[in-house]
């Protein structure tokens, strides 16, 4: 199994409509059929010094293996998301785990 986790820090000058559009764009990634499960969230209200709550939106995708990961990367929904929203974030961090 591969766990693909993405953290997005959005640009501070995005308006409410752009933030809503971005959220919908991330939500659309759940439609990628090769993924086993997709979880999307915002920082939880945990308050501990070791918890980073500075990001805006997180995306976690569970995949069977690297072949599925590679298919996910070139899926038309993923490509459309990147084309439409890549200018919305100021920072992105990705963690992939076996």
The domain that holds 41 is classified in CATH as 3.30.70.100
37: containing domain: 2-97
What are the residues whose beta carbons fall under 8 Å from the beta carbon of 35, sequence distance 6 or more?
29, 61, 62, 63, 68, 72
User: How many domains does the structure of the chain reveal?
Assistant: 1
Give residue 21's pLDDT. 98
Give residue 30's pLDDT. 97
What's the average model confidence in pLDDT over 56-66?
A: 97
What mean pLDDT value characterizes the chain? 97
- Cα–Cα distance for residue pair 55/64, rounded to 1 Å: 27
Give residue 28's pLDDT. 98
Give residue 89's pLDDT. 98
Label residue 9 by pLDDT band (50, 70, 90).
very high
pTM (2 d.p.): 0.94
């Amino acid at each position: 199994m591969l766990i693909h986790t993405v953290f997005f820090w959005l640009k501070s000058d995005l308006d409410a409509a752009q933030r809503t559009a971005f959220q919908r764009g991330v939500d659309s990634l759940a439609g990628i059929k090769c993924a086993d499960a997709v979880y999307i969230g915002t920082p939880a209200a945990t308050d501990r010094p070791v918890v980073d709550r500075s990001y805006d939106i997180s995306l976690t995708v569970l995949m069977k293996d690297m072949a599925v990961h590679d298919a996910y990367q070139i899926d038309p929904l993923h490509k459309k998301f990147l084309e439409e929203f890549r200018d919305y974030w100021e920072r992105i961090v990705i963690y992939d785990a076996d």
